[in-house]
Amino acid sequence: MTADQTGALTQDIARARKALGRRNLVFVGLMGAGKSAIGRLVAQMLEIPFVDSDHEIERVSRMTIPELFDAYGEAEFRALEARVIKRLLKTGPRVLSTGGGAFMNEATRAMVLKSGLSVWLKADLEVLWMRVCKRDTRPLLKTANPKQTLSDLLDQRYPVYELAHLTVQSRNDAKDTIAAETIAALARFDQAQDRAHTP
């Protein structure tokens, strides 16, 4: 990174902190988009805490996400997820990474749009598939054709993810690059955009 790039990033970080204020920066997007990895880097750059809602759900339930799906089904899992995210949104600022289905829940989405700042990490199908096909821990992909299932989720969810305050393209570039682009997008965020997204 050149001296000019470092200086620009420093300015962006200061503006981003101001735009965020006391709110949480909430990452939304499909599985494999990089919400946790990019979220951690952004939190480090902003010098605020990072929390992953899936990890928090596992901590409070003492069960893994797949175990919760198997034991209680998706509807009960989403209800628990909504309660955990509601609690997490009450204090900030911090960076919050959410599960792929969290923003699809109308009540959760309304809470995020009202009291947080949301960032959609948008990724193409091939990028997502390359990242998620290596592990079989995704409950929603336990189907006969997991790539088609992922494609169907993309079609269903992308119109809803578009409601997020900000959109950043996730791709196979360095994580630092995507994190810096997220900071830059947050630095450019203004109150007019904020009002447009408030439910």
**Sheet with 166-169, side-by-side order of all strands:** 50-52, 94-97, 24-28, 116-122, 166-169
155-194 pLDDT tens trace: 999 999 999 999 999 999 999 999 999 999 999 987 545 5
Tell me what the pLDDT averaged over the chain comes to.
88
Whole-number Å distance between alpha carbons of 143 and 103: 22
Confidence of residue 142 (pLDDT cuts 50, 70, 90): confident
CA angle, residues 155, 160, 166, in degrees to nearest 5: 115
Q: Provide the whole-model pTM.
A: 0.89
Stretch among 13-27, 64-78, 139-153 having the lowest mean pLDDT:
139-153
How would DSSP label each residue in 99-133?
Answer: -TTGGGSHHHHHHHHHHEEEEEEE--HHHHHHHHT
21-60 pLDDT tens trace: 999 999 999 988 999 999 999 999 999 999 999 999 999 9
Q: Is 92 helix (H, G, I), strand (E, B) or coil?
A: coil
How would DSSP label each residue in 7-27?
Answer: HHHHHHHHHHHHHHTTSEEEE
Distance set, CA 104 to CA 80, 99, 180, 193 (Å) = 14, 10, 26, 21
Architecture field, domain 11-191: 3-Layer(aba) Sandwich (3.40)
Both structure tokens of 1:
């990174």
Q: Does residue 139 register a pLDDT over 80?
A: no
